[in-house]
Amino acid sequence: MKQKLFFAVVLVCSVVVLNFFLIRLAPGDPAMTLAGQAGGADAETLEEIRRTYGLDRPLAEQFFVYAGKILTGDLGTSYYFNLPVSGLILERLFPTLLLVLSSLVISVGLGTFLGVLAARNPRGPLSYIVTAVALGGYSVPTFWLGQMLILAFAWYVPIFPVDGMAGLRVRGGLNQIVDVAWHLVLPALTLGVAFMAQYSRVSRAAMLEVLDSDYIRTARAKGASEPAVLFVHGLRNAILPVITLVGLQLGQILSGAVLVETVFNWPGLGRLALDSILRRDYPTILGILLASAVVVVVINLATEAIYRSADPRLRSGGRH
């Protein structure tokens, strides 16, 4: 475990270095953006802005100043909002985590359930329907699916809200929780459907292998019901590849959240990242990328711990 923590720290440090220099190599000048917002972009104004934010210093010096602040927990100050980046990230972190975790529940839960049903009779019509629906959901672009859901359930049949995270008139208590959950339905469904296909395919393949095992035949011979065979005896071992896939896909889900938050005006890190990129807000972009990397690393470590808990061979020190 200590070795894995060491490599996790090395990975995060590498992300810090690469992000800093790649952002600086991207086209665009923050001084020009800030000067345009201030109403003028003459040479004197640009020079003053660069001096204020340290953009006139050599790139190596800028990096060491930035790295020194990171070590003290200071992510810098946003060029655009003129607020601490750490505060901006903490403010937007909960909406993003809520969206990502909700979509994970949908994609993993529904995908695994459909995969188990498809594995029960792999040549039956239900298996083909599940495969077609799953592949269709995987092939559809996320932003297009979000717009179609908005048209279907907010325009033609106005059931769900599509703008923001909560209504302006709802404040506090159970009503606010219900209102946030109601706003969450379409964004979480949009993001969850995009990844449901992979979980259904992986769980189907794993269940097909498990259902051919001797202990499954023994459970059936002892009179165990079919739901118990599938979801108690079979899924307990078939779930291991799904757990692995969750850790591998987290980065993709976070990147997909950027599109979903933009479509539904969801006030999370993805929307903040897009706005910061358009405004050349370097400190905010770097802070979001660093926070995302840390979240991915932590959840991958947690996924491995869950995998070890779920697999008795690893708990006992065995090898695959």
Distance CA 40, CA 55 (A): 18
pLDDT at 287: 93
Q: Which of 135-144, 169-178, 185-194, 209-218 has the highest mean pLDDT?
A: 185-194
Burial 213-232 (b: 16+ CB within 10 A, else e): eeebeebeeeeeeeeebbee
> Measured on CA atoms in the order 64, 67, 72, 76, is the torsion positive or negative?
positive
pLDDT beyond 70 at 213: yes
Name, in order, each residue with C-beta under 8 angstroms of 89's C-beta and a sequence gap of 6 or more: 75, 269, 272, 287, 288, 291
Give the pLDDT mean for 165-179: 75
More confident residue, 294 or 250: 294
Average of pLDDT values for 210-214? 83
- Listed in sequence order, the residues at least 6 apart from 205 whose beta carbon sits closer than 8 Å to its beta carbon are 115, 119, 241
- Look up residue 216 and give its two tokens: 């499954």
Judged against a pLDDT cut of 90, whether residue 63 lies above it is answered with: yes
CA 111 to CA 109: how far, in whole Å? 6
**Least confident piece of the model among 11-25, 84-98, 262-276, 298-312:** 298-312
For residue 211, what pLDDT is reported? 83
77 φ/ψ angles, rounded to the nearest 5 degrees: -120, 135
306-311 mean pLDDT: 70
Q: Would you say residue 318 has pLDDT above 60? A: no
pLDDT number for residue 288: 92
Percent of the chain beyond pLDDT 90?
Answer: 18
CATH of domain 93-279: 1.10.3720.10
Mean of all residue pLDDT scores within the chain: 84
Q: Is the pLDDT of residue 87 over 90?
A: yes
User: What pLDDT score does 320 carry?
Assistant: 43
CB distance 276 to 285 below 8 Å? yes
Place of tokens 């993003």: 96
Domain ranges of the chain: 2-71, 93-279
Dihedral sign (CA 240, 241, 246, 251): positive
DSSP labels for 236-264?
A: HHHHHHHHHHHHHHHHHHHHHHHHHHHHT
Choice between 257 and 102, residue whose per-residue pLDDT is larger: 102
Per residue in 99-116, pLDDT tens? 999 999 999 998 888 888
Amino acid of residue 304 = E
Our CA angle for 124, 126, 129, nearest 5°, is: 115
pLDDT score, position 64: 93
Residue 98's pLDDT is 92
